[in-house]
Amino acid sequence: MMQLIDWLLILTYFIISLLIGIYYSKRAGRSTSEFFLSGRNLPWWLAGTSMVATTFAADTPLAVTELVTKNGIAGNWLWWNFVFGSMLTVFFFARLWRRAGVMTDVEFIEMRYSGKSAAFLRGFRALYLGLFINCIIMGWVNTAMASILHGLFGIEQSSVIFYVALSMLIVAIYSAISGLWGVAMTDMFQFIIAMIGTTILAIFVLSLPEVGGIAGLKSKLPDWTFNFFPSIQSVSDIGIGSALALSISSFLAYIGIQWWASWYPGAEPGGGGYAAQRMMSAKNEKHSLLATLWFTIAHYCIRPWPWILVGLSTLILYPELDDKKLGYIFAMRDFLPTGLLGLLVAAFFAAYMSTIATHLNWGTSYIVNDFYRRFIKQNAQEKHYVLISRISTIILMLVSLLITLFIETISGAWAFIIEAGAGLGLVLILRWYWWRINAWSEISAMIAPFIAFGYVKFFTNIKFPESLYMIVSFTTIVWIVITFITNPTDFETLKKFFVKVHPGGLWKPISQRVPDVEQDKGLISLAFDWIAGIVLIYSSLFGIGKLIFNEYYQALLFLILALVSGLFLFSHISKYGWEKIAE
């Protein structure tokens, strides 16, 4: 049970979060650039950590617990496969986003495209992503936090929404008054609290006599639980209660299609959303690249292992539990002593609030910069837009709370979003590297997946992820055809874009018009860096895991591979990158 010291720790956490917001309130009020982009002056370590904190939602440890209790450590490949796309963003897009100089990735649309189609696409995506999708995501996060509070304290579901609303109000207040500087600094504070808390829980749970440490885990759980890699089997051989087993077609869909073809919040091909916001907020191109690299390393290599260890321990502590993800909450409730329990509850609030804060600021940037300023009231004073931004932040909070009341489950929602955006990813990538992509390419690539998804859903028995083959193929054919039967972007718009961003790739018709502008070279070198980055992430991830499980020989091999790939990466980039991208 919670004691006075636990409540005092939680109260202290809330007070510190509010004080950080108040401290940065004056700075955020100067302009929308300060409010949404921190004056483009975030250092790489702060921008990157802010991204990590945002993706560390309250339900993330619970989701990982559910994955490992059902399919062992290999179950995490359902999100580990995004490494390919994350590293693509690091080397091919982070610097370009910073170089573009836009306030949001939606504003980029009218920088890259022209005409009424571009204006429509910008306005539509501003409301679709900033209001609709964003509030649904916050509703999911609120629902997860409500479940956590219910599991910890036994609060009735009819009352728990009040406590979620109170927490969200605090987030909305410091987000509204402090802008991205306050959000980023509280993200840093909240990430530290969350990581300390979850690491302490892992150490404490492992030390329980019922678990018996790493040796106890390995002796009490079946061997398949500790497999790091999914098994590739025929469909008829796939069963339940074993390491993640995928058919060949499913494995290829995850590894070969999903990461580049599908749009998903926080993992957009080519960057986007709040990730692009952090890249554009960085001090310069060098800080943008380093921020994204640090985010990828921390996200995949450092953060998951405390969650995985607790998840495995819950198989021993709660073998009969039906809802496996709740084992994480019950381990906190049942075994943590006074003081540590308060710290862990504060850690969960930190994970929850860092995610909500970013989504409030990010969603507001779309509504104000890409809809209100663009279509409702142009050329007003900056103080007016800051005021509207603060009002919009509160409105987003209220709308997401309303949506929370109607969300009962988020099961399958991630698969729906991936399928409904399958095929769009290639357009988001190529719009930087091929001049012929136009606004109609992107519009058709947004519409086509819904048509294909409806056909797959109602007229076939194809399930996710095999459905990606059909949806991506249909979407790709549609947008390519639409691209060539519609007019290209106005050449004057393309020329301005090329002069400002000077991207590499297929831009010859434009580069010939501005011969004095040096186009980016070295795409092959970037491809080698991308491969080295992927090797660095996976070898570090598995090396740390093998070290934890006392498999020292394999750990040494993985860590040596990580060291070699890391040294290659640093030396290779330094030959052409550090001096060039530093401002």
CA proximity to 194, closest of 59, 86, 369, 94: 59
DSSP for 190-208, written as a single string: HHHHHHHHHHHHHHHHHTS
Q: Which amino acid is at 466?
A: E
pTM here? 0.88
Tell me the pLDDT tens digit for each residue of 437-449.
999 999 999 999 9
| Lowest model confidence (mean pLDDT) among 4-13, 238-247, 385-394, 530-539 | 238-247
Tell me the pLDDT tens digit for each residue of 296-319.
999 999 899 999 999 999 999 998
198 has pLDDT over 70? yes
- Find which of 231-245, 459-473, 500-514 is predicted with most confidence, using mean pLDDT: 500-514
Per the CB < 8 A criterion, the answer to whether 503 and 519 are in contact is yes
Pairwise CA distance, residues 59 & 49, whole Å: 19
Q: Is 434 helix (H, G, I), strand (E, B) or coil?
A: strand
Pairwise CA distance, residues 231 & 9, whole Å: 44
Ramachandran bin of 39, using left for φ above 0, alpha for ψ from -120 to 50, beta for the remaining angles: left
Question: Position of tokens 């490949």?
Answer: 77
Pairwise CA distance, residues 421 & 428, whole Å: 11
Q: Where are the domains of the chain?
A: 1-73+103-215+284-409
The arithmetic mean of pLDDT across residues 363-386, rounded, is: 92
Tell me the pLDDT tens digit for each residue of 229-241.
887 765 444 444 4
Q: What is the pLDDT of the chain when averaged over all its residues?
A: 87
Burial (CB count within 10 angstroms: exposed 0-12, middle 13-18, buried 19+), residue 90 = buried
Tell me the pLDDT tens digit for each residue of 77-114.
888 988 999 999 999 999 999 999 998 999 999 999 99
Angle, in degrees to the nearest 10, between helices 60-71 and 134-153:
70
The arithmetic mean of pLDDT across residues 27-43, rounded, is: 80
Burial (CB count within 10 angstroms: exposed 0-12, middle 13-18, buried 19+), residue 104 = buried
pLDDT computed for residue 575 by the predictor: 64
The arithmetic mean of pLDDT across residues 462-477, rounded, is: 90
559 has pLDDT over 90? yes
Other C-beta atoms lying within 10 Å of the C-beta of residue 418? 22
Over 452-503, what HEC string results?
A: HHHHHHHHCCCCCCCHHHHHHHHHHHHHHHHHHHCCCCCHHHHHHHHHHHCC
pLDDT computed for residue 241 by the predictor: 47
Tell me the pLDDT tens digit for each residue of 166-187.
888 888 888 888 888 888 888 8
pLDDT interval class at 337 (50, 70, 90): confident
pLDDT computed for residue 84 by the predictor: 92
pLDDT computed for residue 245 by the predictor: 66
Pairwise CA distance, residues 94 & 189, whole Å: 24
Q: Report which DSSP code applies to 520.
A: P
Q: Percentages helix, strand, coil for the chain, rounded to the nearest 5?
A: 75, 0, 25
User: Which comes out higher in pLDDT, residue 540 or 405?
Assistant: 540
Cα 98 to Cα 266, 275, 285: the distances in Å are 17, 11, 6
Q: Where are the beta strands (DSSP E) in 185-268?
A: 231-232, 245-246
pLDDT computed for residue 465 by the predictor: 81
| Lowest model confidence (mean pLDDT) among 254-268, 372-386, 510-524 | 254-268
User: Topology of 1-73+103-215+284-409 in CATH?
Assistant: Sodium/glucose cotransporter (1.20.1730)
pLDDT interval class at 30 (50, 70, 90): confident
The arithmetic mean of pLDDT across residues 315-337, rounded, is: 88
Q: Are strands 245-246 and 231-232 parallel, antiparallel or unpaired?
A: parallel
